[in-house]
Amino acid sequence: MNVRCVTDTVKLKSGFGIHLEEQKNALMKMDMLVKNTYWKGKKGRLPFEKGILCGIKAIIELQQDLQDAGYKYILTSRANSDCVENIFSCIRYLRHAKKDI
């Protein structure tokens, strides 16, 4: 879910859609693991579990929609919030640096 290059010697590290069957199988295994993991004292899913399941569903559906539009793969690192968090980090730095002047 954090791929940065189109192809890699490890199939699961290639763009999502390059080795689609293997990649979907890995996501389905993770889906089953999350759905079949129970935490003592908890009745429902924890927020991180909901996030994992939502991410799995979203990336599979996004890949299908993009494939229908002619795209062959997704670099999933571009679909996460890291780039947005980096921008906010820079803004916070500039804001604090300005106060020190």
Other CB atoms within 10 Å distance of the CB of residue 77: 14
Helix (H, G, I), strand (E, B) or coil at 78: helix
Other CB atoms within 10 Å distance of the CB of residue 100: 5
pLDDT, position 59:
94
pLDDT, position 98:
65
Q: Which residues of the chain have pLDDT under 70?
A: 83, 98-101
Phi, psi of 74 (to 5 degrees): -125, 130
Measure the CA–CA gap between 15 and 85, rounded to whole angstroms.
22
Asked if 4 and 82 count as a contact pair (C-beta separation under 8 A), the reply is no
pTM score of the predicted model: 0.76
